């Protein structure tokens, strides 16, 4: 769900970058120097996981986006984390692009931040693994669908002629959102059981709340 | 497989200062994305190809990247022309493809390919850690640079751990199929990596503190802006100015 170089006209690319900028600045502001290694390692894992894990789906397989998980684990720092991972993806694998880096960061990062604000508090207190699964799944699906909506909106801003792509992508993405939800749910319930303190880590912002 | 590969080599492009290369890449991307004149786009594509050849990027790697990109442009060619208003060029299964739509798809594909070629030739030839240092010297926010360098530093380490865990799963006859069990196994693998990475980050922080880390990151690489860099920047910006002038003046178009 990335927008490639060349598709976005300059005004849209600039608008996307301007929209992403405050979030990135906020993410960097709350990230304390001491927490940078933790944030970097979490974002490395997310980057690898989206790249390497192939969830079997019917005759084919899909790769997770993990926007919801990124939000739950990184909070506002998900914005700079996505900026970096999208830059690396553009540089190493030609997914997305440099002129569209701002738009793509906004599309992926804002839903992550939204999920953090909505779900992190509840997951932090949740000890029941089944409920943790449901919360995680809801977070994963919400972030995925929100990213899809932003992506579709950005494409339509790039040109009305791209509406056909959005229309074709709509149904498959609902299925992908479900796969993403199940996957995120399992990760969250695993973490709630094994290492619940991890959800205190978006206290990449809070005082002294250790891992 | 390493996740942090770049195009190694020893051409004059590799020897240039990374900072002007980054700036020229960004300027080129902006000018190309802005252009709509077909003559300018052809020139941009030619410039991209020339740089890729000059940087001696391995043909196989380049082909793989361009192929990945052009899967997307094929989607454009199939989906855009039928809905783009304009004269009908031809009809396929009685779906009309408009001339304007085809041209729009073509110029979008050319822009994307030109930018990718320049991106690979100028920035893909910088070792990623050097790139981090160059960002630092270009006054990218310090925390963002640190985050970038740390993310890179541990990508390979964590990739190695991922491979180890996956091998352990395969040794226990794990085979992916479309079942909840597969999803759960992959989820636990990712979860386990997260747990391990956070524990590792604690150790890293302690090691850094032991060595007197005080929030400041000392950059070891410094770059020198030489005569060759000045010449490269001057030529690049002259060419880009030419593109821009041709675009604004509405120069002779190929179509």
* DSSP per-residue letters across A6-67: TTS-HHHHHHHHHHHHHHHHHHHHHS-GGGHHHHHHHHHHHHHHHHH--EEETTEEE----H
Tell whether B25 and B120 lie within a shared domain.
yes
Tell me, yes or no, whether B20 lies in a domain.
Answer: yes
Question: What are φ and ψ of residue B159, in 5° steps?
Answer: -60, -40
Residue A208 DSSP one-character state: S
Residue (of B220, B157, B160, B152) closest to B6 by Cα position: B152
Tell whether B110 and B160 lie within a shared domain.
no
pLDDT score for B242:
87
Tell whether B31 and B48 lie within a shared domain.
yes
Query: CB–CB of A6 and B32 under 8 A?
Result: yes
Q: Do residues A88 and A43 make contact, with C-beta atoms less than 8 angstroms apart? A: no
**Region label for A64, one of left (φ > 0), alpha (ψ between -120 and 50) or beta (otherwise):** beta
Q: How far is CA B136 from CA A156, B57, B125, in A?
A: 36, 26, 18
Tell me, yes or no, whether B215 lies in a domain.
Answer: no
Pairing of strands B95-98, A60-62: unpaired
> In angstroms, rounded to a whole number, what is the distance separating the alpha carbons of residues B144 and A113?
18
Tell whether B80 and B44 lie within a shared domain.
yes
> In angstroms, rounded to a whole number, what is the distance separating the alpha carbons of residues B220 and B225?
16
Residue B121 DSSP one-character state: I
Tell whether B245 and B120 lie within a shared domain.
yes
Q: What domain range is B193 assigned to?
A: 133-210
B188 contacts in A (CB within 8 Å)?
Answer: 186-187, 190
Tell whether B78 and B164 lie within a shared domain.
no
Query: CB–CB of A39 and B147 under 8 A?
Result: yes
Query: CB–CB of B80 and A164 under 8 A?
Result: yes
Tokens standing for B184? 């759960």
Q: How far is CA B92 from CA B70, B88, B95, B99, in A?
A: 21, 11, 5, 13
What would the pLDDT profile of A128-169 be if each residue is shown by its tens digit? 889 999 999 999 999 999 999 999 999 998 888 888 888 888
- List strand residue ranges (DSSP E) for A67-179, in order: none
Tell me, yes or no, whether B31 lies in a domain.
Answer: yes
Residue A101: Cβ within 10 Å count:
24
Tell whether B112 and B155 lie within a shared domain.
no
Tell whether B242 and B118 lie within a shared domain.
yes
Q: Do residues B168 and B144 make contact, with C-beta atoms less than 8 angstroms apart? A: no
Domain count, chain B: 2
Tokens standing for A22? 């405050």
Asked whether residue B192 carries a pLDDT value surpassing 90, the answer given is: yes
pLDDT score for B5:
65
Tell me, yes or no, whether B37 lies in a domain.
Answer: yes
Tell whether B122 and B140 lie within a shared domain.
no
The stretch B106-118 carries a mean pLDDT of 91
Domains of chain A: 10-204 (1.10.1760.20)
Tell whether B34 and B86 lie within a shared domain.
yes
Tell me, yes or no, whether B5 lies in a domain.
Answer: no
Tell whether B97 and B169 lie within a shared domain.
no
pLDDT score for B254:
59
Tell me, yes or no, whether B96 lies in a domain.
Answer: yes
Best of B7, B97, B102, B187 to mutate (most A CBs within 10 Å, chain A):
B187
pLDDT score for A111:
95
Best of B122, B141, B147, B188 to mutate (most A CBs within 10 Å, chain A):
B147
Tokens standing for B65? 């990247």
Tell me, yes or no, whether B24 lies in a domain.
Answer: yes
The stretch A80-99 carries a mean pLDDT of 88
> In angstroms, rounded to a whole number, what is the distance separating the alpha carbons of residues A10 and A60?
36
Tell me, yes or no, whether B219 lies in a domain.
Answer: no
Tell whether B157 and B230 lie within a shared domain.
no
Higher pLDDT: B215 or A197? It is: A197
pLDDT score for A210:
41
Close Cβ partners of B139 (under 8 Å, ≥ 6 residues apart):
none
Question: What are φ and ψ of residue B4, in 5° steps?
Answer: -115, 50
> In angstroms, rounded to a whole number, what is the distance separating the alpha carbons of residues B206 and B209?
5
> In angstroms, rounded to a whole number, what is the distance separating the alpha carbons of residues B231 and A129?
62
Query: CB–CB of B3 and A51 under 8 A?
Result: yes
Query: CB–CB of B162 and A52 under 8 A?
Result: yes
């Amino acid at each position: 769900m990335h927008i490639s170089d060349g598709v976005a006209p300059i005004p849209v690319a600039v608008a996307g970058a301007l929209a992403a900028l405050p979030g990135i600045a906020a993410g960097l502001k709350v990230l304390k120097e001491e927490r940078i290694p933790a944030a970097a390692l979490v974002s490395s894992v997310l980057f690898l996981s989206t790249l390497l894990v192939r969830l079997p789906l019917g005759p084919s397989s899909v790769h997770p986006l993990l926007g919801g998980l990124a939000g739950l684990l990184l909070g506002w720092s998900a914005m700079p984390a996505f900026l970096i991972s999208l830059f690396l993806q553009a540089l190493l694998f030609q997914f997305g692009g440099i002129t569209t880096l701002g738009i793509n960061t906004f599309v992926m990062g804002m839903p992550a931040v939204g999920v953090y604000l909505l779900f992190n508090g509840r997951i932090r207190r949740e000890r029941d693994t089944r409920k943790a699964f449901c919360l995680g799944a809801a977070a994963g699906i919400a972030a995925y669908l929100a990213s899809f909506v932003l992506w579709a909106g950005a494409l339509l801003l790039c040109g009305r002629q791209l509406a056909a792509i959005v229309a074709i992508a709509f149904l498959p993405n609902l299925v992908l959102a479900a796969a993403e939800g199940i996957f995120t749910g399992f990760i969250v319930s695993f973490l709630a059981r094994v290492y619940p303190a991890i959800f205190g880590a978006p206290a990449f912002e809070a005082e002294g709340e250790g891992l | 497989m390493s996740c942090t590969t770049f195009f190694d080599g020893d051409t004059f492009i590799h020897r240039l200062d990374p900072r002007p290369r980054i700036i020229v890449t960004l300027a080129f991307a902006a000018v190309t994305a802005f252009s709509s004149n077909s003559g300018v786009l052809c020139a941009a594509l030619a410039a991209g190809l020339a740089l890729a050849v000059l940087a001696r990027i391995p043909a196989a790697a380049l082909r793989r990247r361009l192929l990945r990109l052009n899967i997307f442009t094929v989607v454009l060619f199939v989906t855009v022309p039928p809905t783009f208003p304009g004269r009908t060029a031809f009809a396929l299964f009685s779906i009309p493809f408009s001339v304007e739509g085809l041209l729009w798809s073509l110029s979008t594909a050319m822009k994307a390919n030109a930018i990718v070629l320049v991106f690979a030739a100028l920035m893909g030839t910088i070792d990623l850690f050097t790139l981090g240092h160059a960002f630092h010297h270009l006054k990218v926010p310090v925390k963002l640079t640190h985050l970038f360098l740390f993310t890179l530093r541990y990508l390979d380490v964590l990739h190695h751990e991922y491979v180890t865990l996956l091998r352990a799963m395969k040794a226990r006859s794990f085979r992916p199929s479309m079942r909840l069990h597969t999803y759960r196994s992959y989820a636990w693998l990712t979860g386990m990596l997260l747990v391990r990475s956070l524990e590792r980050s604690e150790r890293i922080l302690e090691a850094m503190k032991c060595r007197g880390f005080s929030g400041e990151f000392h950059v070891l690489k410094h770059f020198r802006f030489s005569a060759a860099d000045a010449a490269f920047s001057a030529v690049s910006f002259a060419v880009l100015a030419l593109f821009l002038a041709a675009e604004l003046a509405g120069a002779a178009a190929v179509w």
